[in-house]
Structure formats: C-alpha cells, structure tokens
Amino acid sequence: MTEFLTQNVWLLPCYGLLGAIVTLPWATGLIRRTGPRPAAYFNLLMTIVASVHGWFIFYRAWHQPAHELAFQWLEVADLDLYLSLNISSGSAGTVEAVTSLSLLAQLFALGYMEKDWALARFFALLGFFEGAMVGLALSNSLFLTYALLEMLTVSSYLIVGFWYAQPLVVTAARDAFLTKRVGDILLLMGVVALAALAGSLRFPDLYEWAANADLPPWQANLLGFALIAGPIGKCAQFPLHLWLDEAMEGPNPASVLRNSMVVGIGTYVLIKLLPVLAMSPATLTTLMVIGTVTAVGASLVAIAQIDIKRALSHSTSAFLGLVFIAIGVGRADIAAILLLTHAVAKALLFMSIGSVILNTNSQDLTEMGGLWSRMPATTTAFVVGAAGTVAMLPLGSFWAMGEGIKAFWVSYPWLVVTFLLVNGLTAFGLTRVFRLVFLGSNQPKTRRAPEVPWAMALPMVALTVVVLIMPLLMKQLGLLSPFQYAYLNNLLAEVLLILSGAVGCIVGALIDLSRTGSRSILLPVRFLQDLLAYDFYVDRLYRLTVVFAVGLLAQISAWIDRYLVDGFVNLTGLVTVFGGQSLKYSASGKSQFYLLTILVGVSLFALLMTWPLNQWPLSHWSLQQWSLLTGK
C-alpha cells in the first residue's frame, strides 16, 4: 500500500483540484435543493485524503534519500520539458503543512461562511488554492513551478474578488492581480533565458549547470534579477508590496491561507533556486536590501493601521522580509524554519481576528474593546498566536529568529539590528491590537459578541496546541537543537532577542491609545501618523510616476494610432474611392472608345521612344558630361 502511494505521489495535488471540480454543480447553481454544504464536505474529504496520503509519503521519505518522479511533457528539437516531482522528507513535510493548514482553514470557513450564498464557490476556490500549493511543494522543475505559480495567481485573483458585487473588492482584486503580473513577466523572462542557457529546467540539472557555468557578471546579474522578481511580487516585498494590503478585502478564511502559506510560497521557490542565484552576488545583496527595507518599513506601517486585517497583513510582509534576508545570506535552513513558525502562528492570528470580525461585523480597531470576557477562546488564540509570532521564549519563533541572529552575529551585525528592531515593532503592534480589541470597555459593536461556534473554535484550539508544542516538533524533525550553545555571544544574542520583544510589549502596553482622537493635534506627530498609515505614500508616488508615465505613453500611442496610422489608412482609402469615382465616368461601355484610348496611349509611348535624344537638353548635357568623363 505504501509503495502504491509513493509511486502515485502525483495524486497529491490532484485531490484539491478534484474537490474543486466536484463542487462545480453546486457552485454554478445546477444543484440547489441540498444547499451548498455538500460541496464543502466534498472538499473537506479530499483534503483529509490528501493529508493522509501526505503522511504516508512523509513516513516513507523520512531519513531516506530523495528520489524523483518525472513525466516527459514535451520534446521538440533541443527543448525537453519534464513534469518532475521531488519525493523527499522536505517536500513531503511541506505538503503535510499545506494540507493540514488547508484542512483547518476549511473547517474554520465552514463556520465563518455558513450563511454565505456562494459557499460552494468559495470551497471550490480553496480546493484550487490547495492543489496549486501542494504541486509547488512537490515540483522539481522550474517549468512546472512557474505554471503552478500562475495557477496560484489566478486563484488569488478569484478569491480576493469573491464578493464581486462590491466595487472596492473588484478594484482590490484587479490591483493585486496586476501588481503580481509585473513580477511574473520578469520571472518568465528569467525562466526562458535559463532554459536557453542551461538546456533544462529540472532543478538537479540547474544545480549542476550553476556549479560549472561561467557567465559574464552582467548576464548573471540580469538572470538573477529576473528570477527574484516573481517571488518579490508573490511575497509582497517592496516595491511590489501594496497588493497584500488590498487582498484583505477577500473573505477571512482565505486570508488565513494567504498570510500563512501562499505568500510564503515565493520564498520556497527562492530556496529552491538558491544555487542558481548564488552565481550573482549582486542578486543576493539585492535580496538582503529588499528584505531589510520591507521588514522595517512594513513593521512601522503595521503599527499605524486601524483596520485589523491590514495591521496583521503588513506584519506578514515584514516577517517575510526576514526570510528574504536569510535567503540573501545563503542560509536556506534558517529561511525554512522562519517560514514554518510564522505560518502556524499567523494562521492562528487570522483565525482569531476572523472570529472577532464575524461577531462584531467590523474591522475597525477603534470600534472594538472589552472582548476578552465575552470571547475567551478567541482571546486565548490571539495571545498564543501573537506570542508565537514574536520571539517569545520558549515558543518556536524564538528559536527560529535566534538561529538567524546567531548566524549573522559576526558577519552581518546590521542584520542582527534589523531582526531585533522588527521583533520589537511586531511585539508593539500586536500588543496595540490586543489592547484595542480585547481590553478596555465594551463598545457598541462588542457588547453582544458571543463566542464562535465549534466549527470555528475547533481549528483555533488545534492550532493553539500546535503553536505551543512547535519547539518540540522542530526538535523532533531535526530542524534545530535549541539547548546547545557554542559561544557566549549566542546567549547574549538570545537575551537581546528576548529584551526586544519585552520592550515592544511594554511600550505597547503603556502608550496611550485613544479611540476617539486617534490623530494628534501636533503637526509633526500627525505627519508621522499619516506617513505610516498611508504606507509612506507609496501608492501616490506610483500614481505620480509609473502610472502617470504609462498613462501618458498610452495617450501618445492612442494619438499616433488615431491620427497617423488611421489617418494614412483613411487617406489611402479616400484616394482609392476618389479615383474609382473619377474613373467610372470614362467607362462608357463602347469598344470603339477603348480602342481609341489604347491607340492614343501606344502612339504617345512610341513617340517618346523614337524622339531624338539630342532634342532633350538634359540628355544632351548628360552625354557631354559622359564624353568628358570617359574621353570618348
């Protein structure tokens, strides 16, 4: 049985797609009498099957060498494309993380969207989401990886625009899709160039080629920049980071998956491409710079948001900036454990705020307060999720960020400062959100907020347990050994990490948070508040530069097309019409007239041919010049 499941590992991404296909009769309205819930049950069943199958693969691949399952898709001339899957403990563990979180998110969605008329369509999109992510986890070919990234982009667009009757939702889905397309186009250029240079897109072949290739620095840099452009857009990193903020217009259960797994898929692709990216030191430096700018900038922006989902989405961009830093340094192991700890903790945070949004019908932090006594399970989930996100001893994020700080302590001290600053700002932002939502006096929208039903409470409780035992899981999986210290500065680094989180929590607990007068009357303070609240005005900067330039170019192109191209074509047509209208008067239909015309034309032509050349002044002058030149 295990051998059969291993040989048919290609079924893993098909389970989610099959669940999406099965739900189409309910999603399209062909079946109405049963309601949309059977579609949700089919998707849940397929996710459970995928999770069980993934456990078998993980058990079989544990401590075993990786092997490949390849299907030849196309062979034309020198082009040979394979759909290649990697079966290893790492890929199987990633599959299990994706399917497990997807299962919990679907359970949560069953309660969150119980009364939504389009529940079946939502679960179909979640199945599409899951299939693409599982395929990316198993992919051993850059060609297949790019195709699955496109599937993920399409599914993200459809889920963000799920409530398409709202104009703001449609705009958010469009902007998110177009922003990511910028990076995807550059990534496609890199994939095509890499296929031409390496002759193959299988990751093992790319690693072998990268180890022996001798590219000019400019070519290696351009290739590296093209390959990282797609993940920059997928992971909402500067300057393609604005889409994640707008993607929060989608349903909250989709945000659970998006902020925990989907945005991290781009960094997973970068980890696989790391040997190729290492050919260009400038590319790795760019990753570090982009990660640093995004981590610090998004952490600052998050503390000024009054929308609860946007506050947490910016913290997601900030944490992924730390992952970019780890990849830029070349430490794929640190990037992997940062991704794992962040995914679980952030999924729990979004489940808890989803419960708050459902019961208060609001996402505005200034309209909340006093929910800790009315929603104890949700409050506990938020506290544990926040502690798992911040480097708080002894939870998983502490050991993950501690490994990063210890690795950068000597060679990259400025990255250590970045990690400590981001950790402190994240702790401050989450403490601020906790005070505004759960502490204080009851507000009009929180006075009658009950605890969520079991379908939403069960995944929250399960994820709470997982976050609490994450250090034990990481130790059992061999990801790190948290109780071994090699040098004294390791202990110092971890003390500083604890202090940064503690300082952030203390400042967040002591600072005055006014719900009514959120903007200061002091001009410098108000300017700083607006600067952070509006994301450093990056969107307005884009409108004044990129959008303006593209719009101006489009207007110039439209003018050229209308007045030059169309004008020339219309003039040609007008001349033709005028000539045809003029010639129709000479067509009398009498053969004598036609013969006379031919005779006159031939006579004139013969006259010109037989006329003496010396009668033409120009020709005579030309003959004289010719005689002088030739001496004849």
Closest CA to 344 of 389, 379, 300, 303: 389
Identify whether the C-beta of residue 262 lies closer than 8 Å to the C-beta of residue 157. Answer: no
How many CB atoms within 10 Å of residue 216? 8
Phi-psi region for residue 478, left (φ > 0), alpha (ψ -120 to 50) or beta? left
Identify whether the C-beta of residue 418 lies closer than 8 Å to the C-beta of residue 408. Answer: no
Counting Cβ atoms within 10 Å, is residue 439 exposed (0-12), middle (13-18) or buried (19+)? middle
Distance CA 39, CA 444 (A): 36
341 Cα distance to chain centroid:
19
pLDDT-derived band of residue 1, with 50, 70 and 90 as boundaries? low
pLDDT-derived band of residue 369, with 50, 70 and 90 as boundaries? confident
412 Cα distance to chain centroid:
28
Which helix (H) or strand (E) is 75 found in, with range?
Answer: strand 67-76
For residue 20, what are the contacts with CB-CB under 8 A and spacing of at least 6? 43, 123, 124, 125, 126, 127, 128, 131
What is the tens place of the pLDDT at every residue in 225-267?
999 988 898 888 888 888 887 788 888 888 888 888 888 888 8
Q: How does the average pLDDT of the chain come out, rounded?
A: 83
- The pLDDT score that the predictor gives to residue 484 is 45
- Tell which wins on pLDDT, 75 or 309: 309
What tokens does 457 get? Answer: 């409470």
Distance CA 286, CA 275 (A): 16
Answer yes or no: is pLDDT of 160 > 50: yes
569 Cα distance to chain centroid:
44
Identify whether the C-beta of residue 317 lies closer than 8 Å to the C-beta of residue 241. Answer: yes
What is the tens place of the pLDDT at every residue in 472-492?
888 877 776 544 444 444 678
Radius of gyration of the chain (CA): 33
Distance CA 381, CA 350 (A): 10
What tokens does 443 get? Answer: 């507000």
Distances (CA, A) of 83 to 80, 132, 188, 257: 10, 14, 17, 26
Q: Which 3 state secondary structure label does DSSP give 553?
A: helix
Closest CA to 265 of 436, 151, 186, 379: 151
What tokens does 278 get? Answer: 């290492």
What is the tens place of the pLDDT at every residue in 497-531?
889 888 988 888 888 776 655 566 667 777 787 78
What is the tens place of the pLDDT at every residue in 585-628?
666 666 777 777 788 888 888 887 776 655 555 444 455 554 55
Is beta strand 67-76 parallel, antiparallel or unpaired with respect to 79-87?
antiparallel
- The pLDDT score that the predictor gives to residue 2 is 64
Q: Which amino acid is at 83?
A: L
For residue 251, what are the contacts with CB-CB under 8 A and spacing of at least 6? 109, 112, 113, 116, 122, 159, 162, 163
What tokens does 40 get? Answer: 């949700």
Q: Residue holding tokens 């040989």?
A: 7
Could you check whether the bond before residue 444 is cis, i.e. omega within 30 degrees of 0? no
Identify whether the C-beta of residue 498 lies closer than 8 Å to the C-beta of residue 415. Answer: no
- The pLDDT score that the predictor gives to residue 290 is 92
What tokens does 563 get? Answer: 């007045």
Closest CA to 228 of 298, 354, 328: 328
Q: Which amino acid is at 494?
A: E
In eight-state DSSP terms, residue 165 is: T
